[in-house]
Chains A and B, each alone.
Chain A
Amino acid sequence: MKFNTLSRHLRESFKSIARNGWMTFASVSAVTVTLLLVGVFMVIMMNLNKVADDLENDVEIKVLIDLQANEKDESNLQDQIKNLPGVESIRYSSKESELSGLVKDFGNDLSLFKQSNPLRNVLYVKASNPQQTAKIAKQIDKMDGTYEALYGKGKIEKLFNVLNTGRNVGIVLIIALLLTAMFLISNTIKITIFARSKEIEIMKLVGATNWFVRIPFLLEGIWLGILGSIIPIIVVTLAYANIHSALAPRLKGEVFELLSVSPFIIEIDALILVMGVIIGMWGSFMSVRKFLKV
């Protein structure tokens, strides 16, 4: 394409945005509303996902070691567990430190047990993929030197089920929202293009190629997408920054935390912008198609 043609296309796309004031406003509003919805929803979904990840990562296997096991047996067991596929980390805790943990949590009364400690030495095992916890626990349970491998049987499965369903529902909702957005925007753009079908017809009759007709509309779609993503980006960024600074201190030390503002919200902003551009281009492309058949 010649440079002159490209600058003509750019000029045309700007001109038509200015010239079709109300239609531009309608399209931009449609983009704004849907991107705002998608943006807010994505922020919520990503945070729920983070919470789910945090909860999952908190899951660990507590391996109670046989009382008969001596130091050599214990280190044998540790090596065996380390060699299991999918094990991320192991932490050893002697029965003394287990007891002082209990004393800390439940009060000094328990320190009586210091004379004859009824607890066992413990290994805490974390799976690199939390969903594999049950499988790994079963394998550890069979090893020599293991008295029992505890992992919250039943509860864990339920938790994972809920989290997985939640994630899938979220993905489906985001996709549905995006499709609605595309439909809404392509319809609005179709109306603006319909008003200019005569222009397209004349272009075709004087020998314009399809791409020559299409490109200014595609550019216009891009500008509409960019204009439409400005408000959602501002709103989502400010809202999240405020909510985060209000909630984050309260969640300190809990099992789960919110995603920190940077880079998360910048990624969301970029995503909103990209979606705006794609939706605008796609909407223009689909709408022009109909009028090119002259």
Chain B
Amino acid sequence: MIEMKNVYKKYPNGIVALNGLNIRINQGEFVYIVGPSGAGKSTFIKMMYREEKASSGEIVVNGMNLSNLKNKEVPYLRRQIGVVFQDFKLLPKLTVFENVAFALEVIEEHPEKIRKRVMDVLDLVGLKKKARMFPDELSGGEQQRVSIARSIVNLPKVVIADEPTGNLDPDTSWEIMSLFEEINARGTTIIMATHNREIVNNMRRRVVAIEGGLIVRDERGGDYGYEI
């Protein structure tokens, strides 16, 4: 499903973010990526949808080998992966409906199909009634639900989330987490970088800890493991 072998990443400024990392994630898994700031979590996440390129090593996502993926082919990789961001990355001038539909317009879906799919996912995230509202009329949790709706609207096999609850209060974070659980229950792989101890400890899923660009712990049903 997703496999990394000896992945090494050095940024142009000399910082080594990943130092020979190995991991294998199977279809349908729910994986938390934990670790201190600057440990390489974000780089690890960005590698999977080729926002960053590995300096060396091999990455395979959905059968596509990213080390020899041409720039032209990157869009087709990204269509198989949904991405959710800490800052939501919604377009402020588009309505909720348009923001979600955007991901399907870009891949040239038929308008009729777009409408149906978008209403389906908005129903799933509980925002069907707010489809015509603009992002700044919504709460933070609702905005994050829009961005989750956008990430799953084209039925990707993997959803990658980089601290999706980072900007949300605890109650709202739990709502978002149960949404991810629901998506995972439908067979979608979820990979989530997080600093939220409470969530990791309560969910008891696979936990991968990254430090100094390497995996220092990988356990199923693990806990967050870091003391504050």
Q: Which residues of A contact B (CB under 8 A)?
A: 1-2, 4-5, 8, 19, 198-199, 201-210, 212, 294
What is the distance, in angstroms, from A3's C-beta to the closest C-beta of chain B? Answer: 10
Contact residues, B69-96 vs A (CB, 8 A): 72, 75-79, 83, 89, 91, 93
Interface centre among A202, A207, A209 (most CB of B within 10 A): A207
Contact residues, B93-134 vs A (CB, 8 A): 93, 102-103, 105-108, 110-111
Residues of A within 8 A of B89 (CB): 198, 201-202, 205
Tell me the nearest residue of chain A to B110, going by C-beta. Answer: A4
Interface centre among A205, A208, A210 (most CB of B within 10 A): A205
B107 pairs with A207, CB closer than 8 A: yes
B108 pairs with A5, CB closer than 8 A: yes
A198-B91, A199-B91 are contacts. A206–B110 as well, Cβ < 8 Å?
Answer: no
What is the distance, in angstroms, from B120's C-beta to the closest C-beta of chain A? Answer: 17
Complex Cα–Cα for A207 and B83 (A): 11
Complex Cα–Cα for A96 and B111 (A): 89
A207 pairs with B91, CB closer than 8 A: no
Q: Is B49 interfacial (CB-CB < 8 Å)?
A: yes
What is the distance, in angstroms, from B109's C-beta to the closest C-beta of chain A? Answer: 9
A19 pairs with B93, CB closer than 8 A: yes
Complex Cα–Cα for A193 and B79 (A): 24
Q: Which residues of B contact A (CB under 8 A)?
A: 49, 51, 72, 75-79, 83, 89, 91, 93, 102-103, 105-108, 110-111, 150, 154
Residues of A within 8 A of B72 (CB): 209
Complex Cα–Cα for A207 and B150 (A): 12
B105 pairs with A207, CB closer than 8 A: no
Tell me the nearest residue of chain A to B90, going by C-beta. Answer: A202
**Other contacts beyond A202-B102, A206-B78, A208-B75: 6, CB < 8 A:** A5-B108, A205-B83, A206-B150, A207-B75, A207-B78, A212-B108
| Chain A to chain B contacts (Cβ below 8 Å), 28 pairs | A1-B108, A4-B110, A5-B105, A19-B93, A202-B89, A202-B102, A203-B102, A204-B78, A205-B49, A205-B51, A205-B78, A205-B83, A206-B83, A206-B103, A206-B106, A206-B107, A206-B150, A207-B76, A207-B77, A207-B78, A207-B79, A207-B103, A207-B106, A207-B107, A208-B106, A208-B107, A209-B75, A212-B108
Residues of B within 8 A of A199 (CB): 91
Tell me the nearest residue of chain B to A203, going by C-beta. Answer: B106
What is the distance, in angstroms, from A211's C-beta to the closest C-beta of chain B? Answer: 10
Complex Cα–Cα for A205 and B106 (A): 10
A contact patch SS: helix
Residues of A within 8 A of B150 (CB): 206
A202 pairs with B91, CB closer than 8 A: yes
Complex Cα–Cα for A208 and B93 (A): 19
A4 pairs with B111, CB closer than 8 A: yes
Residues of A within 8 A of B105 (CB): 5, 8
Tell me the nearest residue of chain A to B104, going by C-beta. Answer: A206
Residues of B within 8 A of A208 (CB): 75, 106-107
Complex Cα–Cα for A294 and B150 (A): 19
A4 pairs with B83, CB closer than 8 A: no
What is the distance, in angstroms, from A22's C-beta to the closest C-beta of chain B? Answer: 15
A-B pairs with the 6 shortest C-beta distances? Answer: A207-B79, A207-B78, A208-B106, A206-B103, A207-B75, A209-B75
Complex Cα–Cα for A165 and B150 (A): 64
Complex Cα–Cα for A198 and B79 (A): 19
Complex Cα–Cα for A212 and B102 (A): 12
What is the distance, in angstroms, from B192's C-beta to the closest C-beta of chain A? Answer: 17
Complex Cα–Cα for A198 and B89 (A): 8
Tell me the nearest residue of chain A to B51, going by C-beta. Answer: A294
Residues of A within 8 A of B91 (CB): 198-199, 202
Residues of B within 8 A of A8 (CB): 105
